[in-house]
Structure 1
């Protein structure tokens, strides 16, 4: 029996600090799971002298990545440094040195996951990335193992805590997007440059990973249609509530007869939908399987210890595989060729808020346009705007194709009686 299993860390930021705390504080549990102690051999940092919230012996720290990725004493390399270019370079180097790798890097996995997995398989190494999606929620392992015998039809979820915090505060407090974003930045939920979060790119990367695994296809980031929340207004959320809906930034991956759509966009959900009750920085993923039916995974989507817990879950799996001599064997090539739905095949209900001239014939012109496209209304509000000759119309359509809806949208903008299309969002759930 091996006396110990040694790990090396690339990075000692928020997640790396959590990993160190778990290894040091949970040694009894880890030894029980793995069958031998888990030992920290080396930790790559950018500044050896920087003060940190976790105590690490100075001889364990290094500024040279080769002290980790090429270290003959290290069995598992844990990449928590972030970024893409350097992280990819050092993970490839680690794999070439026959090191098993665990990463929390969603950007890297979304962009280069297929290539890295091929190299891992070639070198008979494990490459796991549970922490790259939804922090402490074990959604990736659930797809790969727990639901592996099922055929996943649909996944939809809240996979970005920053945007969920913002939309929750806007909905409950009636605050503006700008004010809540500043609050999120003060609290550390949003970066100083929040673009990746609020414009949907972070969620899109995660959905590309989930869709690739859930559908066993090579789904790339450019296959994900992404739209963020920066244009959402207090008025939009007020009318959502009035109509019985809650708005969330929803990542959606759906497969019908072998063809898939993957998207991220602000979406209205009926208030009774389980995802509508997921608030603040929490994440949740709803999975529909042909056999299992509906399941939901819920928990903290970020943070030092929740994410580190997901990292260490992968590390334990790697270590068990090492002791069984089966590292690298769980990596499988995609089963299906990627087939993306066209706009004619994507169907949904839609919310639309219009400013129109408050005069006779306006409503008739609008309803005629929808009727010409064979699209009916599920819900409708018409309200005058005080002190003006303009009325506000709020519509939720019945289900139609994306192509038809976009055609209606363009033609509404060209109608003389329509002053502006103020907002437009997808609607999911309900009958």
Structure 2
């Protein structure tokens, strides 16, 4: 049985998908039954490394969606529109969809999932998070018997490359960012990566899968690495930590009505060197899932690029193709593979969440300064794990504090009092700590 594939986009990932479908030898035998029927591109005259029959190409993506020879629509265009509209159009036409579009799924995933369930088709998204790392299907299926307590990870390769080099070489952020752009790891406009938006899209998707209900993407507290200084990376190293941009989703219990309360966030974090995520370096990604009864399970590998992402896209195509081959459309949806929402989730007020913190203060080099800082923390019942003075010279000093876990509101109140002390010249850095 031949299964027709319609491809929306022939960029880096689209070309990778087309290359796999064009060379089925040595792969799963089901790949040989997939046929590329139509491909939507922006420019028909653009030269391409992969030679395709020109008759397959069109500049009209809706023509791909509506082609009767297309059974599965693969969306790898990126962006919010027209991608969202085309996905919904494919669903309305009774066609399953595979997409790598994290931005669309993070913002419109519930709308798309509801439309797919109503029409009886699949929308699979393995490539939207983690590139070639299989994390979406395990959260849907393999870990379905668990109560997920926490999902945390390094899910942006650009920022991980930058932070790795800052830690290993003592390099400045701007210098490494320029190198990342030259190597193709960072876009000309790197804001989505370095300001944390890309990671926030991905953790919104993972949180929805892990906890059974969507979260509001725009409400996720998000902090990137553009303001991070090499000095803090160095101090962290001396204190036994690596700095990573972490995306975290964790359960904070349930409301009386059964609504799951979640703490979902993205921010630079000091990770102890003996933690599994501390050794994830370069452009690699890793996602750590903590559940009951499985314990800790970590998924690690290349998080982006044509090969890994195309691998995930084709894996989703094969999932759908396998179901069509065995049962056909009349067999109904596999509830685990479709993974619709099954409860309500809400984000908790960040002020009531609890975290450990790293704080760097620029102060006068005077007796009693550390004591006065400690008193401000004590008044808010903030317990201090360590307090260290660095680089005292010229009548000034830098003081680095690491707290024990504390409610965010209490820590912020203490920080306000500390910033008002006459001996404190500046709050130079404030980061989270695992």
CA distance in 2, matches of 1:16, 1:299: 21
Kindly state the Cα deviation for residue 84 of structure 1 after the two structures are TM-superposed. 0.7
Q: Does 1:371 align with 2:357?
A: no
* Distance (Å, rounded) in 2 between the aligned partners of 1:395 and 1:178: 26
Partner of 1:127: 123
Give the distance between the partners of 2:245 and 2:95, measured in 1 at CA: 37
Alignment partner of 1:409 is 2:379:
no
> How many residue pairs align between the two structures?
423
> Given the alignment, which residue of 190, 200, 209 partners 1:213?
209
Counterparts of 2:30 and 2:35, CA distance in 1: 14
Shift in Å, 1:385 = 3.2
Q: Distance in 1 between matches of 2:89 and 2:400?
A: 56
The equivalent residue for 1:158 is 154
Give the Cα–Cα distance (whole angstroms) in 2 for the partners of residues 313 and 411 of structure 1: 54
**Contact residue 162 and residue 198 of structure 1 kept, 8 A:** yes
Residue 12 of structure 1 contacts residue 43 of structure 1 at CA under 8 Å; is this kept in 2?
A: yes
Structure 2 partner of 1:360: 367
How far apart are the structure 2 equivalents of 1:212 and 1:115? 13
Which among 384, 387, 408 is matched to residue 380 of structure 1? Answer: 387
Deviation at 1:29, TM superposition (A): 2.8
Q: Pairwise CA RMSD of aligned residues? A: 1.3
Q: Is the 8 A contact 1:318 1:327 kept in 2?
A: no
- 1:336-355 to structure 2, matched below 5 A, reads 336-355=343-362
Aligned to 1:298: 300
Whole-angstrom CA distance in 2 between matches of 1:315 and 1:155: 26
Deviation at 1:328, TM superposition (A): 4.1
**Mapped partners of 1:344, 1:230: distance in 2:** 24
Q: Deviations over 1:326-349 (max 9, x none)?
A: 454433442222232234531111
Question: Does 2:291 match 1:289?
Answer: yes
**Which of 50, 53, 62 is the matching residue for 2:49?**
53
Q: Quick one: distance in 1 between partners of 2:59 and 2:351? A: 53
Please report how far the alpha carbon of residue 27 of structure 1 lies from its aligned counterpart in structure 2 after TM superposition. Answer: 4.8
The aligned residue for residue 93 of structure 2 is 97
Distance 1:6 1:334 in 2: 29
The offset of 1:82, in angstroms, is: 0.7
Partner in structure 1 of residue 406 of structure 2: 400
Identify the residue that residue 257 of structure 2 maps to in structure 1: none
Q: Which stretch of structure 1 is more off in the superposition, 296-305 or 87-96?
A: 87-96
Counterpart in the other structure of 2:258: none
> What is aligned with 2:135?
139
Alignment partner, residue 241 of structure 1: 237
Residues 286 and 295 in structure 1, CA contact (< 8 A), matched pair in contact too: yes
Specify the SS of the correspondent of 1:29. coil
Structure 2 unmatched ranges of 5 or more: 255-260
Deviations, residues 48-94 of structure 1 (Å, cap 9, x unaligned)? 11111211111111111132100001100000011111001111111
Q: TM-score, normalised by structure 1?
A: 0.96
Q: Deviations over 1:144-167 (max 9, x none)?
A: 011011111100000000000000
Specify which of 221, 226, 229 is matched with residue 225 of structure 1.
Answer: 221
Alpha-carbon distance in structure 2 between the residues aligned to 1:114 and 1:420:
44
SS at match of 2:97: strand
SS of the equivalent of 1:170 reads helix
Residues 306-317 of structure 1: pairs in structure 2 closer than 5 A: 306-317=308-319
Partners of 1:27 and 1:37 within 8 A in 2: no
Please name the residue that 1:391 is paired with. 397
Task: Give the deviation of 1:399 after TM superposition.
Answer: 1.0
Q: Is residue 358–residue 384 contact of structure 1 (8 Å, CA) maintained in 2? A: no
Moved more, 109-118 or 370-379: 370-379
Does the aligned pair in 1 maintain the 2:215–2:347 contact within 8 Å? no
Say if 1:217 and 1:335, in contact at 8 Å, map to a contact too.
Answer: yes
Q: Give structure 1 stretches of 5+ with no counterpart.
A: none
